Structure formats: structure tokens, C-alpha cells
Structure 1
């Protein structure tokens, strides 16, 4: 059964569309279970009905024509209960619903299991048998449940692929196709999708038509000829080292490249109007699918050869691809995983939105997107990326939604939001030079998180009072080696000069977790609980000492440097770090540099540190909470995993209680405390943090005007009452709703995203799928 299941999954994964995938499922499951009927009913979101989408054993004319209401019949019962239903005599069950057009009156035994993906009911998988004496046993039920669980994500992806092409389950034209992920950076973007994908990866090659068939044929023939010559060259070089039977492998490769083999099939698909890379992908995946399901071990292994040959051909086709990639004036960049390098490829001023399958709202790229003010949606795990190239897209960075093929009504709705956002920021420009002070005189410093020099102008124009977090790993990430002391010194000097005399808090190198250096790889099974932050730099003092020396020298004559230590988990790490910092300070002074000893602080990110705030505060000058990581560790939620993104919530009662305790304990020993997580950039979060007593709030530059406007128009007394009220609640979603309601009642509704119901109502009105 395990072997059968593996073969079914491999075949379905290689299917070109939903109907082919469902056809494979019903035929393979029917054969594997030796039953007379296997059918798949999918839940159509637009009609909320189960539609018979594929069957092996019932009349084929009923496919697409038979449907049941959400709770109708045995299929509806399986969906409503979300568990298997196993009946020996189905017609005698009170919920049995008979459809004469299916011919199912002949079958009495019934086993149905739900198809569920990420808590969403997709449909029901059913097997039926004629003999009334047969009851499907526990092993068969377990097998069908396993098949359903394994294939749910494939069905979800295939369903989405069909939707993006403009067809619903019933074949009707659709508009306003909505995919839900998690918000990465707030804002709304309307533009054209540009899919960027990893080179030589067949799985992510986008589906694109071509108008120039002859050019695509020429490109493909040139690639085939180059790969053929490469293989012949390697075979000749190794001919004296390998036995004849080993050299025969090269002959296999060359035979596959014959005109009547793989290249002939690819050329046929190019003639059908598919670009060369897409045609190659389709043919290679079809070959792989056929080989992998074979029983013969030798033939199954040939799938590896086909995959390798496909990559070689694709690599040749993609040579120079980056140079020819065109970016429209309003580019929405789409990828399996957005990288900082991809952002740099887009011409200045053309990038309006980002869409990434991998990552979450607190991944490193999302943080960069917020710094750049680019609306972003992350964690769209079921989205058919390769279908989005050239499509008109709407990126809703407030709700974490992506709309494809938008209707005029939906486009107008989001264009109005864009216009309102622009108007709001123009209205807030007058606040730039005004202090962030409540109506009853409580002052809070508003700082920015940054890592890019391009952030400086935006930060200053928005009225930032300094840098609360300068991510020093950015200069390390854009190089192919560790930057020298002089190179680091130049980076740091630019930031210090730009904000002088205001403070610039530089975090020492914080790599590991989701921040990797290509030239210093850290391979760990659980990187967020592993070797990262201060743990790395204390193990490599040569890195730490050079960095601190560059910081201190860069601060000469400015003296606005503050140093912050990341990922502190115990007192000894602070003491060891301080020892090294003091050592460098005295050495630099001896070299003749006229510098002052900078203030040194620690980041509060590890839950254990929450209970040692007083002890830490006695040894350093300030504390700063990294609420992103602190939330991640308190809730045991990987912030980069979209499967659990809904569990990551900054308004969780445990997170708020921890933040209250940190502020109280730091002030009890007379030390200032700030926060540099994303919660500080949320207007409601900023109000709660101000009420807790945080002395400074550090955020991305785009959030600063809104936060300043809200704080300047409320009293601290009002904020403290709101804090007291929400600390009595036990649900993060209820807390967030209460804070939003309080802001709306106070006149700040324009700073909050329109309620989801507004979008939902419009989508429903437009026929959203």
C-alpha cells in the first residue's frame, strides 16, 4: 500500500491540471482498493455545493452535472462531520440521496472520507461496492484517509491553477480570484505580475505562451546541440577511466537527445504556442511520471537521468534570461521565495508589490519590504506561481490577500484605498518636526529600524529621532566575503553622520535563523534555536572585535553610537561581550582616536531573559525588546512557516504580559527600555506600548507618521485604561478587535485597513470565487 500510495502521489503531482489529477486519483484508488467505484466530489466555493468532478465506476455523463447541497446526502454528511463515514448498506441510511443519472443504485457499500487542506474543506473522496456483504475494513479506511491527506495540497494547488486561468469548477468564467496568505508589508499595489524563479529548476518554470515560435525553436535546438556536445566532450575525456558498460550511460543520454526522442516532443509543444522552457518542463515531467511509476527498479532509476537531462537543457535555455527579463512600470514581483538580490534587479521606481510563496510577515525579506514601503503578501503556499506571469494582480498587504483577474469594481475599490493612503501621508507631512507627545504631556521617542542607506532620506523626511535598530548584517549579506574593517567603517559612518546628533543603535552581527551568509553557511535542523546572534560572534571573536572596532572608529567626532547585543540568553554572554567591547575601546583610544565609550544595551528576545531583566539592567545602559523573536519563542511558532502563521500574534495575552513585565522591571532599576519589533509600528500596538511605559518605539519609516499622529492625539491616561481593559482578555483576536474599535471611536479609523467584510461583500457582489 505504501508503494501504491507513493506512485499515486507522484502521478498526481505531475498532472497538468485539476481534471487530469482527479482522473488519476479515481482510477488508481479504484484499482488499489479493488473496488467497483471511486469518485471525487469537490466543494464549489461560489455555489457552496459538492460537484461530482471525477469517477471510475459511475456513469461518466454525470461528471460535472451532479451536485449536492453543502449538507445534502452522505457526501454532505462526510463534509459536515469532517470524518470518514463507512456504511455496509448505504441506501438504508436516512441521509442517503439517490441520483439516477449516476447509476449508483447498483452499489450498496459506501466509504467516504473528507479532503481537508489547511482547515478548508475541499471535497469528499468516495469508494463504493456492489456486494452488500462487503464492509470496507479498517485498513482500507485508513488507506483512503491517508490518500486524502496526501493529495489535499495537490488538489488545492490544481484547483487554484484552474481558477487563475479564469475557470471555476463548473467551467464558468471567473473574476476576482482571491488567494489568502499573510500580510508581509502593509499597503495596496495594483500592477502586472513578473515571475522570477530559480535557474535550472523545472518545477518553477512559469507557463507562458509565445508569439515567436521560430525563435523558441531555434533557442531550443541550440540548447540541445550544446548539451549534446557537452556530453560527448565529457564521455571522450573519461573514456580511458571508465569501463564500456559505464560509458554506455552517455550513449543513453545522447539517444534521449535524438530528434525522435525528447527534443521531438518538446518541438511539438513549441509548435502549439508554448515557450521553449515551458514545453521542456511539460515533456520532462511527463517522462519522469511514466518512469517513476514503473515496477522495474532499473527503469524507475531512469527518471533520475531524465530529470538531470532536463536541468541541463533548461540551464542552457536560461543563459542570458536575466538580461532579457522585462519589468513593467508597475511590477508585482512574484517568486517561490523572494530574495534581496531579486529586489535589486527591478529598475528603480518600477517595483510596486511583492508576492512570495515562502516566508511570513516577520521573515527578513518582509522586513526589507516594509523598510522600502512595498506592499507584500507572504506564505501563499497553494498559489500556482507559474500562472501569474503577465497577469494583472492586486496585492492587499493589509489583509494578506492576492487578487488575480480583478473585475473593474474590485480594481476601483482598491484604487480608492491607494488614493486614500497617498492623501493620508501627504496630510501627515506637517507632523515631521513636531514631538511625539500625548495630550497630557507624556513624551515617547520615535526611532526607525534600518539596514539600507536608501532608508535614510525616507526616515528623516518622516521625522525619525534616530535609529533604534541598525541591522549590521545587511552589509555582510550583500558581499561574497566578510567585509573588511575599513568597508564596515564606511557603512557605519554614513548612518551615524546622517542622523547625528541623534542616537544610532547598531546591533552587532545577527546571523543564523532566517539570515544566512553564502560564504559562512550554518546548516542546522532548527536554526532559530541554534547557533545565531551573539552565540556566533562570541564563538568567533575575530568577527566581533573587527566589527566593534569599525563602529567605534566610525563614531569619532559624532559620539552618537550605541551598541546592542542580539540573542542574549544569559548574564555571562553580556559580561563576555562587555569585556571585548572595553578591550577594543581602549585599543582604539591608544591608536589616537578621540572617541567616547558608547552606551551598550541588550536585546530582549529570549523568554528566559524576561525573568532576568533587573540583573541585566544592572550591567548595561539600556534594554530593547525584539518583539518579533520574543513572540516567536513565547508562542513556539516559527515566524517563517506559513502553515502556522495564524498562530503568530503580537497581541497574544502572554506576549503583552511579558512586555508589561519587561518595562516595569527595567524602570525599577532606573534603566530606559525601548522596543524595535513590528508591534511598535502598528498604531494600536504603539498605544499599548506607550501605556506600558516604553521610552522609545522603533519601526519602519513608513509607519512613523501614523504612529506619531495617533499618540499626539490621545492622553496617556486613556491609553492606560485601554491597556488595563485588554489585559483582562484571553484571545489575541479579541484584543486586536478591541484596540481597533477604540482607535475608530477615537477618530483614527482612517489609519486602519477597511474591515475584511467590506472586501468580502464587494467580492461576493462581483462573483468572487
Structure 2
């Protein structure tokens, strides 16, 4: 059965569209289970009805024409109960609904299982049999449940592809197609989708027609010739080191590149109107599927060679292509997984929105997007991202939704939201030079989190009083090697000069987890609990020492540098880091640089550190909480995983209790405590943190005006009372609602996420 399952899934994955995928499912399942009927009913989100989409055994004319209401018949019962229904005599069941156009009166036995994807019922998979005496056994039921679970994602993906192309399940024109993801950065953007993807990765090559078939053919044959020359050159270089049978492997590669072999099939697809890269992807994936289904182990292992050959050809075809990618005037950047480098490729002023399949609201790119003020939606699992290129898109960063090919009414609706947001920020500009102080005189400095120089410009225009977190890994991530001491020194000097004499807190290199360097790969099964942050740099003191040296030299004459140590989990890490920092300080002074010893602090991100605050604070000058990672670790939720994004909540009672304890214990030893997580940039969160006693709040620049306006409009005692009230609650959602209600009652509803009337039902996903 495992072999049958694997082959069915592989065949369905190779389908060109939803109808072909469903036809494969009903045909192969009917054959595998030895039944007379196999059918698929899909739930149409527009009409909320189950539509017969494919069948083997019922009358074909019924496909697309038979539909049932959401809770009608046995199919509706399976969907509403969300569990299998196995009946020996289906017509006698009170929920049985007979459709004469299907011819199903001949069949008595019925087994239906729901097709569920991300908690949503997509449809029902049904098998039927003529004999009255047959009741499908437990093994058959388990097989059908497994098939349904395996294929749910494929069906969702195929549905989404059709919806984006403008077609509903019934074949009618679809409007305002909506897909749900996770809010990444607030705001609304309307623009044109531009798909970017990693080079030499066949899996993410978009499907699109060829603009010029002759040009595509020329590009492909040029790549074939280049790869042949590469292989021959390697073969000649290694000829003296290899036995004849080993050298014969190169001949296999060259034979596969013969015109009558793989290239011939690619050429045929290009001539059908598919662009060269897409044609290559389809042929390579077809080869891989065929070889994986073979029983011969040697032939199965040839998949590696085929995939390698495909990558080589693709690499040659892609040379320079994305470097010269044309970006529309209003670009919505779309990718399987966005990176900071991708953001940097878009010309200044043209990036209006971001859409990423991978990641969540607290992934690194989402944090950068918030700093840049770019509306972002993350975690669009199973959406056919390659279909979004060139389409008009609406990115709703408040609700975590995107709309493909919006209607005039929908566009006007979101344009009004854009204008409201712009008007709100214009109204807050007058606060830029005013202090962040409550009505009863409590002062709370507002700092910013930065990583790019563009952050600095926005931060200064919004009235930031310093930098609470400069992510030094950003300059490392946008290069293809470690930046030199001089390069780092220039980066750091820019930040220090821009805010002098206000403090600039620089976090030492924090890589690992979701922040990878291509030239320093870290391969781990669980990277967030592995080698990251201070653990990496203490294991590589040459990196740490060079960075601290660059920081200190950059601070000469300004002396507003503060150094912060990330991912601290025990006292020994602090002591070892301080030893290295003091060593560099004395060396730099001996070189003739007139610098002051900077203040050094620790980031509290690891739950274990919460219980050692006093010991840690005793050894440093200040404490700062990284609430994003602290929340992730306290709740055991990977903040980059959109499948569990709903479990990540900054207002969770455990998180709030931990934050209260950190503030109290730090003050108990006479040290200041700040926070630089995303909670600080939420108006309600900022009020709670102020009430807890945090001495400074650091956030993305876009959030600063709203937070300042709210704090300047309340008494601290009002915020303290709100904190006491919510600490008695046990649900993060209730706490958030309570805080939002308090803000609305106090007249700050305009700073919360806009409350909008739903304009359409989400399609497919």
C-alpha cells in the first residue's frame, strides 16, 4: 500500500491542472481499492456547495453539473462531521440524497472521507460498490483517509492556481480571489506582482508562456552546449585520476544531452509555447518521477544525476537574468522565501508590498519589512506563487490577505484605507520633536530598531531618541563574504553619527536560526535551539574580536556606542564576552584611538535567563529584552512556521508574567531595562510595558508616532491599572481584546487594525 500511495501522490503532483489531478486520483484510487466507483466532490467557496468534480463509475455527464448544499446528503454529512462515514446500505440512511443524473442508484456500499487542509474542508473523497453485502473494512478506510490527507495540499494548490488564473471550480470567471496568510507588516499596498526565486532551483521556476519561441530555443541550445563543454572539460582534467568505468559516467551525462534524448523533449515543450526554463523543469521532473518509480535501486539512484544535470542547464540559462529583472513602478515582491538581498534589488521608491510563502509575522524579513514600512503578508502555504507574476495584487498587511486581479470596487475600498493611513501619519508629524511623556510626567524614551541605512532616515524623521537595537548581521547578510574591519567600521560609523549624541546599541553578530549567511552555512535539524547568537561568535572569537574592534574605532569622537550580547543563557557567556571586549578596548587604545569604554548589556531571549536576571544584570550595564525570541521559546512555537503561527502570541499570560519579573529583578539590582521586541511597537503593548517599568522602548520606525501619541495622552496610573486587570486573565486573545477595548474607549481606536467589512470570501485556501 505504501508503494501505491507513493506512486499516486507522484502522479498527482505531475498534473498540469486541477481537473487532471482529480482525474488521476479517482482513476488510481478506484483501481487500487478494487471498487466500482470513486468520486471527488469539492466545496466551492463562492456558492458553499459541493460539486462533483471527477468520477470513475458514475455517469461522466454529471461532472460539474451535480452539486449539493453544504450539509446536504451523505457528502454534506461527511464534510460537516469532518470524519469518515462507512455504510453498507447507503440508500437506507436518512441523509441519503439521490441524483438520477449520476446513475448511483446501482451502488449500495458507501465510504466517504473528508479532504481537509489547514483545518478547512476542501471536499469529500467517495468510493462506492454495487454489492449489498460489502462493507469497506478498516484497512480500506485507513487507506482512503491516508490518500485524502496526502493529497489535500496538492488539491489546495491546484484550486489556488485555477482561482488566480481567473476561474472558479465551476469554470466561471472568478473575481477578487483572496488568499489567507499571516500579517507580516501592517498597511495596505496595491501594485504589480514580481516573482523572484533562487537561482538554479528547478522547483521554484515559474510557469509562464514563451514571449519569443525562437529566442527561448536559442537560449536552451546555448545552455546545452555550455554544459557539454563543462562536462568534457572536467572529464579531461580528471582522466588520469579515474578508472575507465568511472570515466564512463561522464559519457552518460553527454549521451543524456544528445538531441534525441532529454533536449529533444525540452525543445518540444518550448515549441508548444512554454518558456525554456519552465520546459526544462517539466521534463526534468518527469524524468525524476519515472526513475523514482522504478524497482531497480541503481536506476532510482540516477535521479541524483538527472537533477544535477537539470540544475546545470538551468544555471546557464539564468546567468544574469534576475540581475536585469525589470521592476514595475509599484512592485509587490513575491517569493517562496524572501531574503534581505531580494529587498535590496528593487529600485528605491518602487517597492510597495511583500508576499512570502515561507515565514511568519516574526521572521527576520517581516521585521525588516516593518522597519521599512512595507505592507507584508507571510506564510501563504501552498499558494502557487509562480502564478502571481505580472498580476495586479492587493496586499493587506493588517489581515494577512492578498487579492489577485481585484475588481474596481475592491481596489477603491483598499485605496481608501491607504489614504486613511497616510492622513493619520501626516497628523502625527507634529509630535516628532516632542518628548514621549505621560500626562502625569512619566518619561519613556522611544528608540528604534535598525539594520539598513534607510531605517535611519525614517527613524530620524519620526523623532527617534536613539537606536535600541542595531542588527549588525544585516550588512553581513547582504554580502557574499564576511565584511572586512574597514567595511564594518563604515557601516557602524553611519549609524553612530546619525544619532549622536543619543545612544546607539549595537548587537553583536546574531546569526543562526532564521538568519543565514550563504558563505557561512549552519546546517542543523533544530537551528533555533542550536548554534546561534553569542554561541557562534564565542566559538569563533576572530569574528567577535574583529567586529568589536570595528565598533570601537567607529565610535571615536562620538562615544555613544553601546554593545549588546544576544542569546545569553548563562553567566559564563557574559564573563567570556566581557573579557574579549575589554581586551579589544585596551588594544584599540594602544593603537592611538581616543575611545571610551562602551556600556555593555545582555539580551534576555532564553527562558533560563529570566531566572538569572539579577546575576546577569550585576555583571553588565543594562538589560534589554528580545521579546520575539523570548515569546517563541516560552511558548515552544517556531515563529517562522506559518502552520503554528496562531499559537505565537505576545499577549500570552506567561509572556507578560515573564516580562514583569524581568523588569522587577533588573531594577532590584539598580540597572536599567529596555525592550526591543515587536511588542514595544504595538500601542497597547507599549502601554503595558511602560506600566511594568521598562525604562525604554525600541521599535520599528513606522510604529513610533502611534506609540508616542498614545503614551502622551494617558496617565501612567491608567496604564498600571490596565496592566493589573489583564494580568488576572488567562487567555492571550481575551487580553488583547481587553487592551484594544481600553484603547478604543480612550479614543485611540484609529491606531488599531482597521475594522473592515469582509469584501469577499477566501477562495481555495
Q: TM-score range by the shorter chain?
A: over 0.9
**Residue 753 (structure 2) aligns with:** 753
1:552 aligns with 2:552: yes
Of the structure 1 ranges 384-393 and 276-285, higher mean CA displacement relative to structure 2 is found in: 276-285
Of the structure 1 ranges 516-525 and 256-265, higher mean CA displacement relative to structure 2 is found in: 256-265
**Residue 569 (structure 1) aligns with:** 569
What SS does structure 2 have at the residue aligned with 1:179?
strand
**Residue 436 (structure 1) aligns with:** 436
C-alpha deviation, 1:58, in angstroms: 1.3
Q: Matched residues in 1 for 2:362 and 2:62: separation?
A: 48
Q: If the length of structure 2 is used for normalisation, what is the TM-score?
A: 0.95
Q: Matched residues in 2 for 1:632 and 1:66: separation?
A: 47
What SS does structure 1 have at the residue aligned with 2:619?
coil
Asked if 2 retains the 8 angstrom alpha-carbon contact of 1:602 and 1:622, the reply is yes
Cα separation, partners in 2 of 1:307 and 1:476, compared to 1, 3 Å: closer
Of the structure 1 ranges 454-463 and 572-581, higher mean CA displacement relative to structure 2 is found in: 572-581
C-alpha deviation, 1:209, in angstroms: 2.2
Q: Matched residues in 2 for 1:112 and 1:417: separation?
A: 45
**Residue 738 (structure 2) aligns with:** 738
**Residue 667 (structure 1) aligns with:** 667
Cα separation, partners in 2 of 1:314 and 1:582, compared to 1, 3 Å: closer
What SS does structure 1 have at the residue aligned with 2:28?
helix
Flag structure 1 segments of 5+ consecutive residues without an equivalent: none
**Residue 724 (structure 1) aligns with:** 724
Alignment of 1:385-400 (within 5 A): 385-400=385-400
What SS does structure 2 have at the residue aligned with 1:584?
helix
Cα separation, partners in 2 of 1:364 and 1:768, compared to 1, 3 Å: closer
Asked if 2 retains the 8 angstrom alpha-carbon contact of 1:175 and 1:767, the reply is no
Cα separation, partners in 2 of 1:425 and 1:251, compared to 1, 3 Å: same
C-alpha deviation, 1:67, in angstroms: 1.3
1:646 aligns with 2:643: no
Alignment of 1:179-258 (within 5 A): 179-231=179-231, 253-258=253-258
1:478 aligns with 2:475: no
**Residue 102 (structure 1) aligns with:** 102
1:319 aligns with 2:319: yes
Aligned residues: 765
Q: Matched residues in 1 for 2:536 and 2:672: separation?
A: 27
Cα separation, partners in 2 of 1:338 and 1:489, compared to 1, 3 Å: same
**Residue 37 (structure 1) aligns with:** 37
C-alpha deviation, 1:247, in angstroms: 6.0
**Residue 171 (structure 2) aligns with:** 171
Asked if 2 retains the 8 angstrom alpha-carbon contact of 1:686 and 1:707, the reply is yes
C-alpha deviation, 1:415, in angstroms: 0.9
**Residue 763 (structure 1) aligns with:** 760
Cα separation, partners in 2 of 1:571 and 1:232, compared to 1, 3 Å: closer
**Residue 338 (structure 1) aligns with:** 338
C-alpha deviation, 1:697, in angstroms: 0.5
Of the structure 1 ranges 586-595 and 416-425, higher mean CA displacement relative to structure 2 is found in: 586-595
**Residue 140 (structure 1) aligns with:** 140
Give CA-to-partner distance per residue, 1:278-320, whole Å, 9 cap, x none. Answer: 2332333334434443455565555555434333332222222
Q: Matched residues in 2 for 1:456 and 1:751: separation?
A: 23
Give CA-to-partner distance per residue, 1:95-118, whole Å, 9 cap, x none. Answer: 222212111122222111111111
Q: Matched residues in 2 for 1:555 and 1:259: separation?
A: 63
1:13 aligns with 2:13: yes
Asked if 1 retains the 8 angstrom alpha-carbon contact of 2:22 and 2:40, the reply is yes
Asked if 2 retains the 8 angstrom alpha-carbon contact of 1:208 and 1:389, the reply is no
C-alpha deviation, 1:35, in angstroms: 1.5
Q: Matched residues in 1 for 2:106 and 2:307: separation?
A: 45
C-alpha deviation, 1:604, in angstroms: 1.0
C-alpha deviation, 1:712, in angstroms: 1.0
C-alpha deviation, 1:249, in angstroms: 5.3
Asked if 2 retains the 8 angstrom alpha-carbon contact of 1:622 and 1:672, the reply is yes
Q: Matched residues in 2 for 1:630 and 1:742: separation?
A: 26
Q: Matched residues in 1 for 2:296 and 2:97: separation?
A: 44
1:364 aligns with 2:364: yes
What SS does structure 2 have at the residue aligned with 1:333?
strand
Asked if 1 retains the 8 angstrom alpha-carbon contact of 2:160 and 2:764, the reply is no
What SS does structure 1 have at the residue aligned with 2:453?
coil
C-alpha deviation, 1:589, in angstroms: 3.3
Of the structure 1 ranges 722-731 and 682-691, higher mean CA displacement relative to structure 2 is found in: 722-731
Give CA-to-partner distance per residue, 1:447-489, whole Å, 9 cap, x none. Answer: 0011222222211111000000111222322333333333333
Asked if 1 retains the 8 angstrom alpha-carbon contact of 2:179 and 2:763, the reply is no
Q: Matched residues in 2 for 1:693 and 1:260: separation?
A: 74
**Residue 149 (structure 2) aligns with:** 149
C-alpha deviation, 1:371, in angstroms: 1.8
Give CA-to-partner distance per residue, 1:471-511, whole Å, 9 cap, x none. Answer: 12223223333333333333222211211111111112212
Asked if 2 retains the 8 angstrom alpha-carbon contact of 1:359 and 1:642, the reply is yes
Asked if 1 retains the 8 angstrom alpha-carbon contact of 2:45 and 2:763, the reply is no
What SS does structure 2 have at the residue aligned with 1:521?
coil
**Residue 504 (structure 2) aligns with:** 504
C-alpha deviation, 1:340, in angstroms: 1.6
**Residue 53 (structure 1) aligns with:** 53
**Residue 536 (structure 2) aligns with:** 536
Asked if 2 retains the 8 angstrom alpha-carbon contact of 1:174 and 1:768, the reply is no
Cα separation, partners in 2 of 1:729 and 1:97, compared to 1, 3 Å: same
Q: Matched residues in 2 for 1:708 and 1:304: separation?
A: 57
Alignment of 1:342-421 (within 5 A): 342-421=342-421
C-alpha deviation, 1:440, in angstroms: 1.5
Give CA-to-partner distance per residue, 1:343-388, whole Å, 9 cap, x none. Answer: 2221121111111111111111112222222111111111101111
Task: Indicate the RMSD between aligned Cα atoms, in angstroms.
Answer: 2.2
Q: Matched residues in 1 for 2:677 and 2:319: separation?
A: 41
Asked if 1 retains the 8 angstrom alpha-carbon contact of 2:341 and 2:477, the reply is no
Q: Matched residues in 1 for 2:362 and 2:511: separation?
A: 15
Cα separation, partners in 2 of 1:681 and 1:238, compared to 1, 3 Å: same
Q: Matched residues in 2 for 1:493 and 1:259: separation?
A: 58
**Residue 66 (structure 2) aligns with:** 66
Cα separation, partners in 2 of 1:348 and 1:18, compared to 1, 3 Å: same
Asked if 1 retains the 8 angstrom alpha-carbon contact of 2:163 and 2:764, the reply is no
Asked if 1 retains the 8 angstrom alpha-carbon contact of 2:363 and 2:640, the reply is yes
Q: Matched residues in 2 for 1:8 and 1:280: separation?
A: 23
Asked if 2 retains the 8 angstrom alpha-carbon contact of 1:219 and 1:276, the reply is yes
C-alpha deviation, 1:243, in angstroms: 6.8
C-alpha deviation, 1:245, in angstroms: 6.4
1:677 aligns with 2:665: no
Q: If the length of structure 1 is used for normalisation, what is the TM-score?
A: 0.95
What SS does structure 2 have at the residue aligned with 1:763?
coil
**Residue 605 (structure 2) aligns with:** 605
Q: Matched residues in 1 for 2:493 and 2:484: separation?
A: 14
Asked if 1 retains the 8 angstrom alpha-carbon contact of 2:178 and 2:763, the reply is no
Flag structure 2 segments of 5+ consecutive residues without an equivalent: none
Q: Matched residues in 2 for 1:767 and 1:141: separation?
A: 29
